[in-house]
Structure 1
Amino acid sequence: MSSIVLKIDVDTYRGTREGVPNLVRLLKKHGAGATFLFSLGKDHTGWALRRAFRPGFFQKVSRTSVVKHYGIKTLMYGVFLPAPDIGSCTSEMRAVQAAGFECGIHTWDHVVWQDNVRQRGEKWTRHQLQQAYQRFQQIFGAPPNTHGAAGWQMNKYAFQQLNEFGMRYASDGRAMLNEDGSLTNPGAGPYRLQDGACIQMPTTLPTLDELLGRQINGQEITTGNIAAHILTLTQTHRDHVFTLHAELEGQKLAPIFEELLIGWIGQGYDCISMADFYASIKDQSLPVAPLTWASLPGRSGELVALM
């Protein structure tokens, strides 16, 4: 049976406190597994306004109603309001593990990592990762088994550090997509980097914020038809990794995620965690690929990509 691996990025303080518990309830309702990847330092979401000068940034903001989904208060953190400590939400994080879901590292400071890591050196990179690693151990009492990069942004030192942490699998990049969200290479899936032992599980489906508001095949993708569109991408069985966000699918877009869960189960998929997926592929002979970067439809900037 094919699987949908559910990878949940938790970017913000509000997403941790409100979106995460909502997602736990929804996943339990449908008997689905998932991996929650937590941001563990300060919530500096307001600093993301510096991205205004990047090509495609305003287009994405207007399409995805950032203020509606994240809230004006979150968008002021680090600018007009003090940045709250996401790692202080220990009860919410521990409740996820107690509910039977895998937990891992997303980042220390989401905005700082996403906007800087590609250009930074070894010392800076190791410091960022070490802070997240140590905070995770303080909260959960054990080291993390997995990592999913903020904004799908990494550098060679970050991959080296994951190997030194002993992480066996991670999801730090993307598979290339066509304009409609279908895979450019239908065979894209788990692989190893040339300089890393850690198995990479690239996200193989478009995210909701990459699709909403776009014109695809002559039709605007809206909250009313986006689930149906994604389900057309999974009609032919194969394993997929789907990235969702506590701030979106855990809050206002929760009905869409539930529609997807029902649809995937109806299509005959198992919805599982990264750990479960790793257990099924760890003994396979996987392809080896270099570290490459590319842009994806509906998202600004370049990401770690499996070509």
Structure 2
Amino acid sequence: MPTIVLKIDVDTYRGTREGVPNLVRILKQHQANATFLFSLGKDHTGWALRRAFRPGFFKKVSRTSVLEHYGPKTLMYGVFLPAPDIGRECVEEMRATKRAGFECGIHCWDHVVWQDNVRRRGETWTKKQMMAAYDRFQEIFGAPPKTYGAAGWQMNQHAFAQLDQLGIQYSSDTRAVLKADGSLCNPAAGPYRLSHDGNLFDCVQLPTTLPTLDELLGVEINGQIVTESTIASTILGLTAEPRNHVFTMHAELEGQKLAPILIELLNGWSEQGYQCVSMGQYFANIRDQELPVYPLTWAELPGRSGELLALEAN
């Protein structure tokens, strides 16, 4: 049976407090499994306004109604309002997710700080950020994390080395390169091991192979603008041919206003014969396979501003 690996990035205080419980309820109702990746430090979402000078930023913001989905309060955290400490104030929501039977892992310590800085930072800075998240995770859950997924698909070579040092066996930090219609440039894209400057990392990468909702909404595909009423059918068209996929959700989107789209996807994937699983379940099925090795590369993806860590197109 083909699988859809559901990976949920939890970026913000509001996403943790409101979006996560909604997602737990929806997934349980549909007998779907998933992995929740938590931001564990302060919510400095307001600092992301500095991205206004990045090419494509305003176009993405206008397409995806950032104010509507994240709320004005979240967009002021760290600027006009104090940044709430997610890992301190949302402990019960995180533990409840684990009690409900879902795999939990690390997304980051500070989402905006990591996403905007890690590519050009050194080993000391990188390790400090990762260890802060690692220690907080253990404090909350009483056990070390088994998995990780980088904020904004941004990492550096020191971060990948740190994953190995922490014993993280599988992670989802990279993207498969996509065409303008959201289909895969490399139809064989899947789990792999990463190499850089002659070093082969142990941690297995489970790259995201489908476009996210915020990458598709408002985009023109085959002469038609993708809307909230058509986006589920667009994604289901990409999964019509059976194969394993990794789909990244956001607690701030599918866990709130775009929840009806998630429900439509879960029903559609069930009809297509897919099983929705966690990253851990998927890794258990491929851990003994000999996986391909690809270098650390960057690419731009349709619908998203800036470069992301990406699996080679071919």
Amino acid at match of 2:167: G
Q: Normalised by the size of structure 2, how large is the TM-score?
A: 0.98
Look up the match of 1:229.
Answer: 234
Stretches of structure 2 that go unaligned for 5 or more consecutive residues are none
Q: Distance in 2 between matches of 1:65 and 1:130?
A: 34
Matched letter for residue 45 of structure 1: T
Aligned: 1:206 with 2:232:
no
Pair 1:264-2:269 in alignment: yes
Structure 1 position 276 matched with structure 2 position 281: yes
Deviation at 1:134, TM superposition (A): 0.1
Distance in 2, matches of 1:254 and 1:110, equals 23
SS at match of 1:178: coil
Corresponding residue for 2:174? 173
Q: What's 2:32 paired with?
A: 32
Measured in 2, the distance between the counterparts of 1:204 and 1:172 equals 12
**Corresponding position of 1:184:** 185
AA aligned to 2:171 is: A
Q: Aligned-pair RMSD on alpha carbons?
A: 0.3
SS at match of 1:105: strand
Q: Which residue of 2 aligns with 1:126?
A: 127
Determine helix, strand or coil for the equivalent of 1:243.
Answer: strand
> Cα distance, 1:286 vs. partner?
0.4
Q: Which of 250, 254, 260 lines up with 2:259 in the alignment?
A: 254
| Aligned counterpart, 1:60 | 60
Runs of 4+, deviation exceeding 6 Å: none
Tell me which residue corresponds to 2:96.
95
Letter in 1 for 2:271: G
Aligned mates of 1:139, 1:176 — CA distance in 2? 35
Are 1:2 and 2:7 matched, yes or no?
Answer: no
Offset, 1:123: 0.1
Q: Aligned partners of 1:148 and 1:25: how far apart in 2?
A: 22
Shift in Å at residue 202 of structure 1? 0.2
> Distance in 1 between the 2:273 and 2:162 partners?
37
Which 5+ residue runs of structure 1 have no aligned equivalent?
Answer: none
Q: What amino acid sits opposite 2:32 in the alignment? A: A
Q: Distance in 1 between matches of 2:168 and 2:217?
A: 34
Offset of 1:265 from its aligned partner? Answer: 0.7
SS in structure 2 at match of 1:236: coil
Residue 43 (structure 1) aligns with:
43
Structure 1 vs Structure 2: percent identity of aligned residues? 73
Q: 1:242, 1:255 → 2: CA distance?
A: 16
Q: Distance in 1 between matches of 2:212 and 2:237?
A: 14
The aligned counterpart of 1:16 is 16
Q: TM-score, normalised by structure 1?
A: 1.00
Q: Distance in 1 between matches of 2:219 and 2:92?
A: 38
**Separation of aligned partners in 2, 1:154 and 1:173:** 9
SS in 1 for 2:83: coil
